[in-house]
Amino acid sequence: MSARFYLDAAGGAEVAGAHSVNSEAEFLRLALGDGPLLVHGEALCRWARRFGAGRGIPTQEVVAPTARLQRLLPRLALTDAQAALRGWPALAQADSADELAQTMLDSAALVGEPQHAAQWLLWWVGPEAQQPGAQTLMRQVGTALAGEVSGHWRGVYDGAADDGSEKAHAEGLLRRWLGLDSESLDWPRPFPAVLPDHVCRRLGEMLEHATAARGIAVYRELRERQADPQVLALAGTAAGEWLRHHPEALGRDTLREIQDHLQTELHGDLLARLPRPLPPLPPQEVPAWADWMTDAYLPYRSWNEADHAALRPHLRQFVEAFLDVYAAALNGGAHAERLIWRRSAALCGQPYVTLVAVCDGLHLHDLAILQRELARHDTGRRLTLTGQDIAFGALPTITSRAKPALFCGVAPAQTGTQPLLGFQATKEDRVGEALRGAAAGDVVFWNIAEPDVIYHKAESLDRARDEVSARLSVIARRLLGLLTALPEGLPVQLVVTTDHGRLLRASGRTATPPDGFNPEGRAAYGAWADIPAAGFRLEENMVLLGRSRYGLAEDAAALFSDETFVDTAGRGGNVICPHGGLSPEEVLLPWVTYVRDLAFRLPTLTAEGDGQAEEPGTFILTLTNPNSVPLVVERLGGPLGAQVTDWAPWTVAPQSQQRLTVALGSWPTSAALSALTLRATVRAPRSAAQDVAVTLKLKSVELYTSTADILGDLLS
């Protein structure tokens, strides 16, 4: 039953449709009618309450918005309360100081949550704080909220004062929380709110000025300080722009150092400024192929001014080595684990829900772009890179032959008889639905048509590269969206790979396939009568592959020159970045693994050894890595670390214990040992560096032992 008498003891309340009553006579005249009455004044409300109780008429207490606001904020003056309600009418609906803050911050975050504290600080440094009456109100709200929280969060809200220092107080806390100051706050990382444009502009200008004075050292210090990813992105941009104007400081190692915090366009511009020497011939060791590709071959191969004819010896030598390794791997020999269908089959039953992003035709050069975009958009640092390597694509590298092998986990010749390893779809919404219904051990394939479709339709190589870069940024955001939407606590991993690579240049349809072979891109299929014992024959520009030796459904021919086969009608023409051949960029495919919300457990380190005091010596550094990702010891610090000579970053494999011999320039004396400390700066992939104390088990051997009084015995 709705109330008929609304009792406004304090005065000032309003009720839509109710008649205001301010005297006993007026109340008696209207009390037995049908319409609702709004009764004002404490004495008249007492009378109306008794009247209603005696006659069964429902009543309801009402409070004026100003009175309600002043009850929540007792020190807020009436004029300030009225001004606040004029500026923010929604404040009238708040029932607590927390709800008042939510209205002012336009956020549903609750006091005590890191996000609420972050938004509170950003409000004080933003334009919202400049609105008339806003600061007066928020000072009182801050005082009320400070009484509801404890610990470090109290300092966020009780920094409000009447001397106008709130903005400076908020700026100081923000700088420390974001890692801009050397004395950073031990608060939840990363910063739990997106920095607004006006803050980014101010920080960007500050970092540009600092970088102009001190160069890339600014970025390095912030990274070492584990600054927030949003700050590192701004610092990376400032460093990149600085390098544009200081080419003497630009090198491949420097670019690699900052590449995770560079936008694709800026990274591409800096990369184009680097010298691109002709790469060395491919190494004999298979594990070295990945570094050769990314550090030497691909930078030259993707260069518009490259002399591709000079790469012919490289291509021929690579093809000869690759075909021997591939054939041995097919028969279970060395490097069998690199076959891409074996990689996909091994995902089943792992302790994760696995999303496999199969980006059609993604070569290693494009992978670097996708990884930078993932790093840029993953502001919450939820993804940890746990593995990055090359896999051997199924031959020949044509979608219709290679992709079924990846999805079924078997060689191409066996795909017709094997079921899919897991759910597979091209539409993002269906992939998301499958992930939400998946359990640990399940594999979900997202069959992404890009970048292959873009390359096939492109009018020029430069246009293709621009469109692919833009599309990879979109793919990165969508991958993060799929992963972050899954329930907290669910173990999730992301694998980024492809079914085939592609030639990194435009190509002419000038090659003629063998007689009886049907061409498809840079591959052709047919029957080969005189297959040699080796199972293949290397010709001037192509290789003939026997089906049994290379696990094919039929014999094939694959080009390793820069040509493409004429089409089935014998027509020529030009194509952009075709595939199907045997160039390194077509057959060496990316296989990258990320784990969501991976906990980085600190390793244990021990230094053991003995040496002669004040002479050069060595000790054994032992690290036990309990994580499922490799750890890199970047440097040694502390007083003892200062004595270490010739240190280089040391990588320790996942879930293993490894030892390293470390050289000291001068072995400490026994007296000095007790006061020395050693610390190791350790980093997991895509994680902040951590300083870990090293347990010292060192002994010093001294030829002479000093005494307090060397002449004591002679004088006794």
- Residue range 608-642, pLDDT digits in tens: 999 998 899 999 999 988 877 789 999 998 889 98
Least confident span in 651-655, 679-683, 704-708? 704-708
Checking if the pLDDT of 705 tops 80, the result is no
| DSSP string covering 358-425 | EETT--HHHHHHHHHHHHHH-TT--EEEEEEEEEEPPSS--HHHHHHHHHHTS-GGGGGG---SSEEE
Q: Is 281 part of a structural domain of the chain?
A: no
- Same domain? For 236 and 339 the reply is no
- Same domain? For 208 and 74 the reply is no
Last residue of a domain, one of 218, 243, 273: 273
Q: Is 190 part of a structural domain of the chain?
A: no
Q: Give the residue ranges of DSSP H helices in 31-125.
A: 42-55, 65-72, 78-87, 97-105, 114-124
Q: What are the residues whose beta carbons fall under 8 Å from the beta carbon of 204, sequence distance 6 or more?
A: 234, 237, 238
- Same domain? For 570 and 608 the reply is no
Rounded Cα–Cα distance for residues 463 and 467 (Å): 6
- Same domain? For 547 and 657 the reply is no
CATH number, domain at 620?
2.60.40
Report the number of distinct structural domains present in the chain.
6
- Same domain? For 496 and 511 the reply is no
pTM, entire model: 0.70
- Same domain? For 440 and 510 the reply is no
- Same domain? For 316 and 385 the reply is yes
Residue closest to 282 by CA, chosen among 312, 307, 310, 314 = 314
Q: Is 715 part of a structural domain of the chain?
A: no
- Same domain? For 457 and 323 the reply is yes
705 compared with 607, residue with greater pLDDT: 607
- Same domain? For 55 and 84 the reply is no
Q: Is 75 part of a structural domain of the chain?
A: yes
Residue closest to 386 by CA, chosen among 592, 656, 190 = 592
Q: Are 207 and 179 in contact (CB under 8 A)?
A: no
CA 425 to chain centre: 25
Q: What integer pLDDT is reported at residue 152 of this predicted model?
A: 80
Q: What is the mean pLDDT of residues 91-107?
A: 89
Q: Is the dihedral of CA 356, 362, 364, 366 positive or negative?
A: negative
Q: How confident is the model at residue 160 (pLDDT cuts 50, 70, 90)?
A: low
Burial 436-452 (b: 16+ CB within 10 A, else e): eebeeebbbbbbbebbb
Other Cβ atoms within 10 Å of 660 Cβ, number: 14
Query: Token pair of 704, please?
Result: 């002479």
Q: Are 22 and 41 in contact (CB under 8 A)?
A: yes
| Antiparallel, parallel or unpaired: β 506-511 and 564-565 | parallel
Q: What is the mean pLDDT of residues 405-413?
A: 93
- Same domain? For 359 and 459 the reply is yes
Last residue of a domain, one of 15, 36, 63: 63
**For tokens 């669910």, what's the residue?**
490
Rounded Cα–Cα distance for residues 626 and 630 (Å): 9
Residue closest to 322 by CA, chosen among 302, 307, 339 = 339
Q: Which amino acid is at 314?
A: H
Q: Is 284 part of a structural domain of the chain?
A: no
Checking if the pLDDT of 716 tops 70, the result is no
Cβ-based burial of 48 (10 A; exposed 0-12, middle 13-18, buried ≥19): buried
- Same domain? For 440 and 536 the reply is no
Q: Is 95 part of a structural domain of the chain?
A: yes
Rounded Cα–Cα distance for residues 71 and 95 (Å): 10
**For tokens 């591409």, what's the residue?**
268
Q: Is 481 part of a structural domain of the chain?
A: yes
Q: How confident is the model at residue 706 (pLDDT cuts 50, 70, 90)?
A: very low
- Same domain? For 511 and 489 the reply is no
- Percent of the chain residues past pLDDT 70, beyond the cut: 97
Q: Is 636 part of a structural domain of the chain?
A: yes
Q: What integer pLDDT is reported at residue 162 of this predicted model?
A: 55
* Per-residue pLDDT reduced to its tens digit, 572-589: 999 999 999 999 999 999
Checking if the pLDDT of 525 tops 60, the result is yes
Range of the domain at 530: 506-589
Last residue of a domain, one of 63, 78, 94: 63
